[in-house]
Structure 1
Amino acid sequence: MASRPVFVALGDPQHLVQEISIDFPWSPGFAPVQKKKNVSALHEAARKKGLYPILEVSTKSEAKLGQRLSAFNLKIETEVGAISIESAFQGSKVFKNGGPYTDIYKMDSRSAKRDERLKNSGPLTGFDYFGQKWPLIPKTAFYDWLYLTALEPHQEFLKRLYSYAAFSDIEFNPDKSINCQARTCALMVSLIKLGSLNLALRSQSDFIAMVASDSFNQAHSADLLQRQLL
């Protein structure tokens, strides 16, 4: 058995996203077919708890929408052209002993995530995105802002997200990572429910103010010690 979270958009200003842990039978292995078995098992277990339908947001999704919304595939427009969310996030990391490594912006998503400098530059201290500095706390703020900024122009995607009861990412393990594309999709829907998306994206300070309370309600903020973001 394994346990993975699914994320529900609450539309509550103080608690935008609910994380629900689901136990399900795990199929070991790294082959894509095994990953898809796990997605199906997770969704079936969640359905029994009344959570249906669920969108898997990853390259392993059976739904084209879920694949398109993977941080590996979703792109953000920048001054150096369109780059993936994954490359933008990794290339903006600042460490005690180096960074940001902005050449990562032009790498493909997999290469960006695996760049050795991200592991050998000491503790993460913040983010620098084209000169805009982002703090480590609220813990998911920079990743969420990047993702929502990239997703907001795709109005056809936003309408379709509304039809889902929850979102999952089979690759996300909360014991090892903090940021999750499925959680950010739930955050997007929650902000839309509140009519606050445009306000949240108006400025960095507005965004942080909007998500701060919710961030401290999440499991990853049980303590304020920033883990290495993966």
Structure 2
Amino acid sequence: MAVRPVYVPRDDRPGVVVRSLDFEWFPGFSTAQKQRSIQSLHAAAGEAGIEPVLEISSKSPEELGVSLSAFHLSLADAEGGRSCSVETAFQGSKVFERAGPFIDLLNGTSREAKKDDRLKSSGRLLRFEFQGTAWPLKPRTYFYDWLYLSALEQQSGLQETLVGYRGFTDIEFNPRKSINCQAYSAALYVSILESGQSDTILYSPESFLESLQDEYTARDELLARQHGLD
């Protein structure tokens, strides 16, 4: 057995309800084993009244879920009209004590960006810099969420499809080891869409943060407890 979160878009205000569910885990690294675990988690979600659920990861049984993985989801970069994945944008924007941002990562693959040795050897992470703007480390998922939601906004015809889902998962995400989660970001996007406030909330990074202050305060408290952070 294992426990993993299912992210449910809130219907009372923009935000996400995190439901941690027990389900049967199928060990192994193959796609087949991962998809058995996904099926088991989604069955548990259905029993909890959460359906339909979309798995967002490279192991998703649905093409949509694979395409929405941060490794694959494309984000237009305003600098020179380039595009990159959400993952490369996130990793390439990190600024450390001794180096960064590593904008060369925007030209490579998501896997190369995530495994770049400089991300581990450049000292303490200080902030993010993307498209000429500096981003703070707190709220802890603020920058990642903004990148992911910005990429979703650029996908034509996606909104009507996403609002049909009542929950989102990422079988690769372990809340005890990681902080940013593409399934959480997708659920947040759907909640914003359904609030009817997307034009205001997604207008700028500043309006995004101001509108989600309560959500991020609660999320930072949860992440601090899970990871022993200050």
TM-score band by shorter chain is over 0.9
Q: Is the Cα contact below 8 Å between 2:223 and 2:229 reproduced in 1?
A: no
Shift of 1:52: 1.2
Counterpart of 1:127 in structure 2: which amino acid? F
Partner of 2:17: 18
Higher RCO (C-alpha 8 Å, min separation 6): 1
- Alpha-carbon separation, structure 2, partners of 1:105 and 1:175: 28
| Deviation at residue 85 of structure 1 after TM alignment | 0.3
- Tell me whether 15-24 or 216-225 shows the greater mean CA deviation: 216-225
Where does 1:67-106 land on structure 2 (aligned, <5 Å)? 67-78=66-77, 79-80=79-80, 81-106=82-107
Q: 1:124 to 1:31 in 2, by over 3 A?
A: same
Equivalent residues in 2 for 1:168-187 (5 A)?
Answer: 168-187=169-188
Distance of 1:225 and 1:41 partners within structure 2: 30
What amino acid does structure 2 have at the position aligned with 1:123?
A: R
1:211 paired residue number? 212
Where in structure 1 are there 5+ consecutive unaligned residues? Answer: none
Alignment match, 1:8: 8
Q: Distance in 2 between matches of 1:206 and 1:128?
A: 18
Native 8 Å contact 2:92 2:104 kept in 1:
yes
Following superposition, the deviation at residue 153 of structure 1 comes to 2.6
Query: Shift of the alpha carbon at 1:97?
Result: 2.1
* Length, aligned pairs only: 226
Q: How does 1:1-230 map to 2 (within 5 A)?
A: 1-13=1-13, 16-78=15-77, 79-80=79-80, 81-218=82-219, 219-222=222-225
Read off the aligned partner of 1:191 and give its amino acid letter. Answer: I
For structure 2, the residue ranges without an aligned partner over 5 or more in a row are none
* 4+ residue segments displaced more than 6 Å: none
Query: How big is the alpha-carbon RMSD for the aligned residues of Structure 1 and Structure 2?
Result: 1.7
* Secondary structure, counterpart of 1:111 in structure 2: helix
Deviation (angstroms), 1:210: 1.8
**How far apart in 2 are the matches of 1:212 and 1:97?**
31
Q: CA contact under 8 A between 1:139 and 1:226: conserved in structure 2?
A: no
Give the 3-state SS of the residue equivalent to 2:10 in structure 1: strand
Quickly say closer, same or farther: Cα 1:62–1:93, change in 2 above 3 A: same
2:163–2:194 CA contact under 8 A, matched in 1: no
User: Identity percentage over the alignment?
Assistant: 45
- Partners of 1:37 and 1:170 in 2: CA distance: 10
For the residues of structure 1 that align with 2:46 and 2:36, how far apart are their CA atoms?
15
Q: Distance in 2 between matches of 1:119 and 1:212?
A: 30
Deviation at 1:12, TM superposition (A): 3.4
TM-score by length of 1: 0.93
Cα distance between partner residues in 2 of 1:75 and 1:27? 31
